[in-house]
Amino acid sequence: MLLFIIFCPIVAAILIIAGAPARLTALVAAAVTLLLALLTCSLFGRWESSFQFVTSFTISSDWQIHFATGLDGLSLILILLAAIVTLAAVSQRIEHAKALRVVDASKRRLPLQKKIGAGMTVEEFRAKVAEGVIKHVGLPESVAMVADSLGLAVDEITETIEPKVASERVQTEYLTVEAGQAAGVHQIARGLCNGKEVIYMELQMYVGAKDPGDTVTLTGHPNISLTIPGGSHGDIATASVAVNSIPVILDAPAGLRTAKDLPIGFFSPNAKP
């Protein structure tokens, strides 16, 4: 499977050189590469310490030329990243961007469960929202950054914060949420241009959430969608981004820099100083 991921773009390039329709061939090859990468990720054994999906053979015994491929935890992420970048590279335009994050807060720490209002009555929840106590800070700002990064014109940003009401009793390690009480927060931020929505960002963070995950959908030509089943752990992801940004921050010129200005990368623990 790993060989198909490696050679699919190469075969597509050869076909295009040979006269195949460039746009269609590139799109098909990118889609196949992404699907194979997602399948590889789903089959990857997280707890295996050795290389997986290993392929090895001799090209020339006389010249001692050998070919070998394999996948470990680090290269797994790089394979998925490469597939996403390949698919995005064939996009001609982006008309609408959507992000949906669903988090099962029942598996998170107590301060977070309290922060999202789990166990409150609906009335208590709305009062805390009015006080500015309950909300995910930065969602409207994220809309603004996405608009700036993708070049989407936005003249208005709206935000709504509502309780996610429990339909049944939910018991966590720290608290109990009865049916009819707030199980968490449902927050939506929209970026509008002349009244038309161009960016949509939605957060559902509540105890007992079904099918947690992160989904990004880009509408344009072509349409692109990516889902991370289970989603990324917020605390771990935040710490990882901070550490992985160390090299690019050190290399960045003086002045105010945002996440938009800095390239995303991985800072290996084995990196040489």
Q: How many CB atoms lie within 10 A of CB 88?
A: 14
What per-residue string of b and e applies to 48-82 under the rule 16 or more CB within 10 Å gives b? Answer: eeeebbeeeeeeeeeeeeeeeeebeeebbeebbeb
Q: What's the confidence (pLDDT) of residue 185?
A: 94
Half-sphere exposure of 207 (CA within 13 A, CB side): 31
3-state secondary structure of 253: coil
Distance separating alpha carbons of residues 146 and 156, to the nearest angstrom: 13
Length of the chain: 273
Tokens 């107590």 sit on residue: 110
Query: What six digits make up the tokens of 69?
Result: 């491929």
Distance of CA 230 to the CA centre of its chain: 11
Distance separating alpha carbons of residues 248 and 255, to the nearest angstrom: 13
Strand pairing of 224-229 and 213-221? antiparallel
pTM summary value:
0.64
Query: What six digits make up the tokens of 84?
Result: 């996403």
* Cross-strand bridge partners of residue 176: 171
Q: How many CB atoms lie within 10 A of CB 115?
A: 19
Q: What's the confidence (pLDDT) of residue 41?
A: 64
Distance separating alpha carbons of residues 73 and 49, to the nearest angstrom: 9
* Cross-strand bridge partners of residue 94: 220
* Cross-strand bridge partners of residue 152: none
Q: What's the confidence (pLDDT) of residue 85?
A: 47
Tokens 């992160």 sit on residue: 214
Q: What's the confidence (pLDDT) of residue 265?
A: 66
Domain boundaries, the chain: 2-89, 93-232, 233-273
From first to last of its 273 residues, the chain has per-residue pLDDT tens of 667 777 777 888 888 888 888 878 888 888 887 777 777 766 655 445 456 667 777 888 788 787 777 665 444 444 444 554 455 556 678 899 888 889 999 988 888 899 899 999 999 999 999 988 888 778 888 888 888 888 889 999 999 999 999 999 999 999 999 999 999 999 999 999 999 999 999 999 999 998 898 888 888 888 888 888 887 777 777 777 778 778 888 888 888 887 777 776 666 666 665
Name 169's Cβ contacts closer than 8 Å, sequence gap at least 6.
176, 177, 178, 179
Q: What's the confidence (pLDDT) of residue 153?
A: 93
Q: How many CB atoms lie within 10 A of CB 203?
A: 22
Helices (H), ranges, the chain: 2-17, 22-43, 73-89, 110-115, 122-131, 139-150, 234-244, 246-251
Q: What are phi and psi of 148, to 5 degrees?
A: -65, -40
